[in-house]
Structure 1
C-alpha cells in the first residue's frame, strides 16, 4: 500500500488514504468496497487473503480485468461507426420535421409518422434495456447476476462468468483442506449479498435439510453439471482441487469466446436498428407525397 502512490500517481491521494485506513486496522475487503469495487471481487480477495492464495487470486482477477478492458476497446471500435450514423440520422430527422414535413401539412396521411414514432419508442426501449444491463453488472451480487442470466444477448455469458468464479473458489478451498460443510460456513461469513455469501447460506441450508449434493448442483443454475461428474469420481481432495481448477480454466476459455462473439454481434444489431429507423424516415417522407399524388 505504501508503494502504490508511486506506482499509480493518478490515484495518489486515494492510495494514501487506503494506506492510512489499513494502518488504522481497517478491513481490506471493506476498504475495496468503499473504493468502488464490486462485492464479488472484494469477497474473492478476502477469501484469498484468508487462504494464503492472494497472488493466484490477483493473477486471475488481473486476467479478467484485462479481458474486460480489451473487449471494451473492441466494443467502442465496433460502435464508433453506428454512433456516427445515428448522429447523422438524428440531424436528418430534425431537418425533415422542421422543413420537409411543413410542405405536406395539408396531407392527412399519418402512417409514416406513426411508424417512425413506434421505431423511436423501440430504440428508446432497447437503450433502456442495455442501460439496465450495465447497472446490474456494476452490482455483481447474486440477485443481479441471476437476473442478468435470464437476459437475452448477455445471459449465457453471465452464467459462464459466475460458474467460473464459483468453480475457481471451490478449487482453492479444496486445496486449503476445506470440507463441503466448512466451505459453506466459510462462504456464508463473507460480504453480505455477494455471490459466495448467498450460495454458502443457500447450499448450507439445503445440506442441513438432508438434500443430496446431486440435487443441489442440479437446482443451482450457476453450478455446472460438470462439477457433479468430478465429485462422483471419488478422487482425493488434492486431485479434486486440481480438477476443479482445470475446469475453471476451461470455463474461462469458454467465457472469453462468448464475450468476443457477443462484442462482434453488437455492430450488426446496431445496424439493424438504424436501418429500421431509416425506413421509418423514408415512409414519413414518401407516404404523404404518395397520398397527394393520388389526389391529383
Structure 2
C-alpha cells in the first residue's frame, strides 16, 4: 500500500511533458494517446496561428495557462530553446508525442494564413483518427468487460442459490 502511495505521488510530481512520453508507452492505450496528442496539439496551434498571433504572443498566451498544463510546459520548453539560440524544430522532432507531420508543416515556410488552414485540416484528420482508434480499442475492451460482468452475475447467482440448494438437500435427506 505504501508503494502505491509513493508511486502515485511520484506520478503527480512529474512534468506533463514527461508524462506525455510515458503515456505513449502504455500497451494498447499508447496509440490512442498518440492520436489524442496529435489532435490536441495541432488543433490548438492552428487556432493560435489563425488568430494572427506572432510566436512571442503565442508563447505569452500559453504561459498564462496553469502550471500543470501540457501546453504551458511545452511553451516554456520552446521559449528556453529560442532564448538559448537553439532550433526548436530539432527539439520538437525528438518529442514522441509531437507528430512528425506537425514539424513538417512548421518547416514548410507557408504564410500564416495558409499554415493555419493546413493545421486546421490536419487536426480534423487527426480527430477522425482519434475517433477511429478509440472505436477500435472499445471493440477490443467491450467483449472483455461483458465477460467480466457475466462472471460476476453467475457468481452472484451461485452465492444466492447454493445455500438454498444445500438447505433443500438437507430437507430431502432428513
Please indicate, yes or no, whether the TM-score normalized by the shorter chain is above 0.5. Answer: yes
The Cα of 1:187 is off from its aligned counterpart by 0.8
- C-alpha separation in 2, matches of 1:272 and 1:214: 47
How many residue pairs are counted as aligned between the two chains? 137
2:59 aligned partner: 184
How many angstroms apart in 2 are the aligned matches of 1:153 and 1:273?
19
Unmatched runs of 5 consecutive residues or more in structure 2: 150-174
Alignment partner for residue 169 of structure 1, among 36, 41, 44?
A: 44
Per-residue displacement from partner, 1:55-106 (whole Å, max 9, x unpaired)? xxxxxxxxxxxxxxxxxxxxxxxxxxxxxxxxxxxxxxxxxxxxxxxxxxxx
For each residue in 1:16-74, what CA deviation from the matched residue of structure 2 results, as whole angstroms up to 9, or x when unmatched? xxxxxxxxxxxxxxxxxxxxxxxxxxxxxxxxxxxxxxxxxxxxxxxxxxxxxxxxxxx
Q: Is the Cα contact below 8 Å between 2:66 and 2:72 reproduced in 1?
A: yes
In 2, the alpha carbon distance for the partners of 1:237 and 1:224 equals 20
How is 1:221-260 mapped onto 2 (pairs within 5 angstroms)? Answer: 221-260=96-135
CA distance in 2: counterparts of 1:242 and 1:214, whole angstroms = 20
**What is the TM-score normalised by the length of structure 1?**
0.42
User: SS of the counterpart of 1:235?
Assistant: coil
CA–CA distance in structure 1, aligned partners of residues 57 and 36 of structure 2: 24
The TM-score normalised by the length of structure 2 is: 0.68
**Partner residue of 1:80?**
none
Query: Which residue of the partner structure matches residue 74 of structure 1?
Result: none
Alignment of 1:1-296 (within 5 A): 142=17, 144-269=19-144
